[in-house]
Structure 1
Amino acid sequence: MTDSRAHRMGPVELRRGRLPDSTTDQRLLDSRGDAGWVHTDPWRVLRIQAEFVEGFGSLAELGPAVSIFGSARTQPEDPMYAAAQEIARTLCGEGYAIITGGGPGAMEAANKGASQCGGVSVGLGIELPHEQGMNEWVDLGIHFRYFFVRKTMFVKYAQGFIVLPGGFGTMDELFEALTLAQTRKVTSFPIVLFGSAYWGGLVDWLRDTMAVDGKIGPDDIGMLHVTDDVQEAVSYFVGKDT
């Protein structure tokens, strides 16, 4: 005879070979066994939830902010280091908090500009195999385990992005923002590429290859604002109804 019994675990219903041999309460109160359960997917959901709650709680009263991205490998003598610092300082003077990934390089420069201006300097760090730690100019730092939680915070609490020359991580943030803007998941979200010599080739390829081939619309390139001027970069945020 087929076993038709069913066992409910919250929204999940189990039958036949999936029937458990104990209840959730029994497993919770049973102190025997190893600690492998803390690495299961349901437990990870709670960690993910906790990261969202911590991020939302810490940034809820941040006020107007701009996320600044750029390479962790940018050296202090690189002109882009000084540019990131000046951009952050200028935005700070206009009442904006600065959000970065909290690492070295361009991120450190932006945090330094905000902190020295007396503004809010935020760093959203990520757990990596090659641990970098939070740079010393971060005044409000949050450490994340999960990239997607961290990326949500970059978008949710910023009025837009300023993107300096960077690598894969910078490109990841850039194209996620473009996708969200293109699909109208975010609206009125300026994306500024700072450094025309660095970004020009990419923008040309998007326009001359991707758009010409019909993979993006003719107006999608207009979401990107390329500049070498700090005041112009800041102008996309200051005085705008974002």
Structure 2
Amino acid sequence: MVTRAVVGSKGGVVLLHGHGRTGRSMASIAAALKRDGYSTLAPSYNSPWRSLAHIVDHLKPRIDQFAREIDGPLHFVSHSLGGLVVRALIASHRPEKLGRVVMLAPPNRGSELADLLFRLRLDHLVLGPVGPQLRTGRARIDQDMLGRVDYELGIIAGDRPLDPIFPRFLLPRPNDGKVSVTSTRLRNMRDHIVLPVSHTLMVYDRRVITQVLAFLETGSFNR
């Protein structure tokens, strides 16, 4: 499924959802972007059943077509696993008119929850083929696939898990319930901000959406 808005005046934004979700989960952000003058593309890529390389290959033709249809830069906004998808896509198929990138709760350094699933041998059942990229100790080949940051990147992390008890035993604090704040960071990122939101619900939060719009417009978050 692909959710697409009418062509706007500020360029286009590709919205990439998190693990086990669909493009519809990015609808609140897409609506705000459309109101602000952007075109949007929010594809679904069935992440539990595809490897990261297959996800990138699956998305590339649709993103290329979208890029041809817009005027101006091509930006990206991602949630969770979508951040790794963006990194892999830019590393292997960098868009000609690449603009700014905003990542929401990206497991850039992996997630301890993924490590636990590997220890319990539940990784394939729960995470599927993308599991190796979600671990804190990635293999060199998996890390190389993500490339290096040489583009304008802003990262939004959360520090309010929905369950205040369980994450304390698995994740370094502060965290959003699934990804620690430390794990979201990347070398060469342009800006980083922590908001009092949870991993799952941050895509619907007005404070998050306001910061997404700010970074796409100015290259920095509002403080």
- Normalised by the length of structure 2, the TM-score is 0.39
- Kindly name which structure, 1 or 2, has the bigger radius of gyration based on alpha carbons: 1
Q: Structure 1 length normalisation: TM-score?
A: 0.37
Structure with greater contact order relative to length (CA < 8 Å, sep ≥ 6): 2
